[in-house]
Amino acid sequence: MQQTRRLIEIMARLRDPETGCPWDRQQDFASLIPYTLEEAYEVADAIERGDFTDLRDELGDLLLQVAFHSRMAEEQGLFDFEAVAAAIADKLERRHPHVFAGIDFDSDTARLRYWEASKLEEKSEKTGQTPGSVLEGVAAALPALMEAQKLQKRAARHGFDWDSAEAVFGKVREELGELEQAVASGDTAHVREELGDLLFVLVNLARHLDVDAETALRNGNRKFRRRFQFIEECVNRTGKRLADCSLAELDAFWDEAKRAGH
């Protein structure tokens, strides 16, 4: 707690209108959005790389964003860091009655239902309105893959879902066929729509296969990065540039990268 208090005091000094840091004083909630998102992704990257020293540092960077936003809110009389901590502590206790209130759930399904009901109740209390849709609360600002997963999970909990992964494979083939027809039509807007439908159903397939679509794509990106950099190394050894090589040559290097386990 001593270091938490130190962080809060440092943030206050950085924001001091007379003696603080000019850059820190210029920031507002909106200007910090890119930094907050970036730090969250860097935490994920450190976890996926298994670098726990880096994870400690990246979690600190993410905590700085919480302290920064809390300080600006305190300056405006909205809330402070302590209120943020209290809010999440209250929420955790409220949503885990099986841990803190001695309530027993007879299944994971019952526990999840309680969790969702609690979220809806909290939203009603906050807004004074009854939620109009079970999809409310899924932030539209999320990365598209993550938003798709959350929308699908919400709908599935209320019975709107395929029975099996096999059924989703059929939908993937259907959407792929519709995309091919749209491409053949030359209608760019239709192509964009059908491609979106295909991506959405692929996320659904990932969910049915118990695979996180965001993580799967990030792993695919890493694999591509490794293999393409291997291609670059191979090309450099030949004394050529990438642009001087034929696609057949580059494909051969790609196959070599696969055989090498990249």
- What is the per-residue pLDDT for 228? 95
- What is the per-residue pLDDT for 114? 84
- Residue 206 domain-assigned (yes or no): yes
- What is the per-residue pLDDT for 32? 96
pLDDT (tens digit per residue) in 39-51: 999 999 999 889 9
- Residue 165 domain-assigned (yes or no): yes
Q: With H, G, I as helix, E, B as strand and everything else as coil, classify residue 229.
A: helix
- Residue 159 domain-assigned (yes or no): yes
Q: What is the pTM of this model?
A: 0.71
- Which sign does the torsion angle of CA 34, 115, 132, 146 carry? positive
Q: Are residues 10 and 86 in the same domain?
A: yes
- Residue 77 domain-assigned (yes or no): yes
**CATH number, residue 200:** 1.10.287.1080
- What is the per-residue pLDDT for 123? 74
Q: How far is CA 86 from CA 8, 82, 113, in A?
A: 15, 6, 24
Average pLDDT, the chain: 92
Q: Are residues 91 and 11 in the same domain?
A: yes
Contact between 15 and 75 (Cβ < 8 Å):
yes
Q: Are residues 195 and 241 in the same domain?
A: no
Pick out the chain residues at pLDDT < 50. none
- Give CA 16 to chain center in angstroms: 33
| Full domain range(s) for residue 87 | 2-95
- Residue 183 domain-assigned (yes or no): yes
- What is the per-residue pLDDT for 51? 96
Contact between 253 and 230 (Cβ < 8 Å):
yes
Cα atoms found within 13 Å of the Cα of residue 123, Cβ hemisphere only? 15
Q: Are residues 159 and 197 in the same domain?
A: yes
- What is the per-residue pLDDT for 124? 73
Report how many domains make up the chain. 3
Q: Are residues 202 and 221 in the same domain?
A: no
- Residue 120 domain-assigned (yes or no): no
- Residue 91 domain-assigned (yes or no): yes
